[in-house]
Amino acid sequence: MTKAADFFARSAPIRYAGPDAVEPLAFRCYDKDRVVLGKRMEEHLRFAVCYWHSLGWPGGDPFGGETFFRPWMHGDDAMALARAKADVAFELFRLLDVPFFCFHDRDVAPEGDTLAQSTANLHAIAELFAAKMEQAKVRLLWGTANLFSHPRYMAGAATNPDPDVFAYACAQVKAVLEVTHGLGGQNYVLWGGREGYETLLNTDIGRELDQLGRFLTLVVEHKHRIGFSGTILIEPKPREPTKHQYDFDVAAVHGFLRRYGLEREVKVNIEANHATLAGHSFEHEIALAAALGILGSLDINRGDPQSGWDTDQFPNSVPEVALALYHVLRAGGLGSGGLNFDAKIRRQSIDPEDLLHAHVGAMDVCARALLAAAAMVEDGRLAGEVAARYAGWESREGRAMLGGERSLAEIAARVERDAIEPRPRSGRQEYLENLVNRYV
Ligand code: XLS
Ligand code: NI
Ligand code: NI
């Protein structure tokens, strides 16, 4: 296999060159040290490269196989290939100058014949990562366990009818959580792709939810036992691969967390394309999570408006990302979270350089969106309009009703006594849409 340094056919990291840059591979807006609302762009955006799509995906689709033929995907020695892949991964991080990356256990190290062997493989690669991270100053945004690819998980991991599969998933998550902790990971993600069902004819929903609740509780307990201070995140998605998934959307996850007493322990990792699959906008999911106190991190990508599945494309719409980031800023930022590019290049994008164009373009889109969102926050008119719309609730009676100091009968008596007749007011949607368009 060729040396990692040769894969991308360039060695200079991609630099900020301003809006008039002529070279195709340059940042035109993302200037990591530029201060926006008191913080550097890099600290606001906390970009992460995702290992599975950028290094692990061979370019297949349901109608045809591999198109990329990456050198680290072919050979007999699986561990040697994993090391070669890691070399290219860190070369990609260096060229993009990103602060973070994310991985599943099985993206970075091959599965062995036994769980012990798989875990040993993972530890060997983690050691390599630790050395590379030290040198490159790249950090781990989150780690996660792949509990969906292997046939043992075809009927779910925690929600499997077979308790041995539940146990196996526990063992796998324990290993990845500990590796994530060892690498200084800032979060740990659980995406339940197969935690759902294909047909109700063979499924006991109540029992499966209890299994999932128990599983999550065990993970949270272990996090505290090992002293992992990162955030545990659930990533909602309504369907795909299963027909129905229990972590459908932010609202469903919040209800689930409340039911199992985990709402102070677990937050959400919201993915744009999962929000749209659930029939929501990305900003809806972000604003709701913020309102419920469980906003954790973002998987930043986009779907295709004409395809009803998870196409996982790189984000390219400034207005859409600006509204998402506006709600992130309003919520006070993402804390330990960040923007993970859970996005893949298209099947025909077979040149290594396509990976660079994808990330550079998306980082610039996010940077432009950040500037627009920051301007919206600074201007304050949008928030002012919302505050004015609810101002009546600041009145004495408004507060008393909301504070539980009035019974239904008392409220009714006041309406009759004062002959209250509410006056309809405009929602001013078009004015607000025009206001937003001034910034994007
Ligand atoms: C798949 C999910 C997955 C998670 C991590 O749709 O987005 O990639 O982010 O398991
Ligand atoms: Ni996805
Ligand atoms: Ni994701």
Per-residue pLDDT of the chain (440 residues; tens, 9 = 90+): 557 879 999 999 999 999 999 999 999 999 999 999 999 999 999 999 999 999 999 999 999 999 999 999 999 999 999 999 999 999 999 999 999 999 999 999 999 999 999 999 999 999 999 999 999 999 999 999 999 999 999 999 999 999 999 999 999 999 999 999 999 999 999 999 999 999 999 999 999 999 999 999 999 999 999 999 999 999 999 999 999 999 999 999 999 999 999 999 999 999 999 999 999 999 999 999 999 999 999 999 999 999 989 999 999 999 999 999 999 999 999 999 999 999 999 999 999 999 999 999 999 999 999 999 999 999 999 999 999 999 999 999 999 999 999 999 999 999 999 999 999 999 999 999 999 999 99
pLDDT at 254: 98
The residues facing 101 across adjacent strands are 49, 140
Pocket of ligand 1 (CB under 6 A): 104, 144, 189, 191, 235, 237, 271, 299, 310, 342
d(Cα 193, Cα 198) in Å, to the nearest integer? 12
Q: Are 286 and 272 in contact (CB under 8 A)?
A: no
Would you name the residues annotated as active-site residues? 104, 107
CA of 407 to the centre of ligand 2 (A): 46
- What residues contact 258, with CB distance under 8 A and at least 6 apart? none
Closest Cα to residue 239, out of 197, 268, 204?
A: 197
What is the sign of the dihedral through the CA atoms of 194, 362, 93 and 187? negative
DSSP state of 56: I
Look at ligand 1, atom 4, and give the residue with the nearest C-alpha. Answer: 191
pLDDT tens readout for residues 200-209: 999 999 999 9
d(Cα 233, Cα 237) in Å, to the nearest integer? 13
Token reading at 219: 């993970």
Residue 268 CB neighbours (<10 A): 28
Domain ranges of the chain: 4-379, 384-437
Residue 164, classed as helix, strand or coil, is helix
Mutate which of 54, 153, 191 for ligand 1? The one with the most ligand atoms within 8 Å of its CB, which is: 191
Cα-trace Rg, the chain: 24
CA of 210 to the centre of ligand 1 (A): 23
Closest ligand 1 atom number to CA of residue 310: 6
**Residue keyed to tokens 């062995």:** 112
d(Cα 116, Cα 109) in Å, to the nearest integer? 13
d(Cα 408, Cα 191) in Å, to the nearest integer? 43
- What residues contact 216, with CB distance under 8 A and at least 6 apart? 158, 190, 232, 234, 260, 262, 266
pLDDT at 432: 97
pLDDT at 2: 59
Ligand closest to CA 270: 3
CA of 300 to the centre of ligand 3 (A): 8
Token reading at 267: 């937050």
- What residues contact 330, with CB distance under 8 A and at least 6 apart? 287, 290, 377, 383
Ligand closest to CA 313: 2
Token reading at 84: 């070669």
Dihedral over alpha carbons 139, 141, 145, 146 (to 10 degrees): -100
Residue 48, classed as helix, strand or coil, is strand
Closest Cα to residue 272, out of 365, 146, 150?
A: 365
Closest Cα to residue 283, out of 242, 232, 317, 246?
A: 317
d(Cα 238, Cα 192) in Å, to the nearest integer? 10
Mutate which of 102, 142, 235, 245 for ligand 1? The one with the most ligand atoms within 8 Å of its CB, which is: 235
pLDDT tens readout for residues 71-123: 999 999 999 999 999 999 999 999 999 999 999 999 999 999 999 999 999 99
pLDDT at 167: 98
| pTM of the predicted model as reported, rounded to 2 decimal places | 0.98
Closest Cα to residue 364, out of 339, 347, 346, 345?
A: 339
Q: Are 75 and 24 in contact (CB under 8 A)?
A: no
CATH T-level assignment (fold) for domain 4-379? TIM Barrel (3.20.20)
Closest ligand 1 atom number to CA of residue 299: 9
Token reading at 422: 């509410």
339-341/295-299 β-pairing: parallel
CA of 427 to the centre of ligand 2 (A): 34
Q: Is residue 241 reached through a cis peptide bond, with omega within 30 degrees of 0 on the bond before it?
A: yes
Residue 330, classed as helix, strand or coil, is helix
CA of 240 to the centre of ligand 2 (A): 9
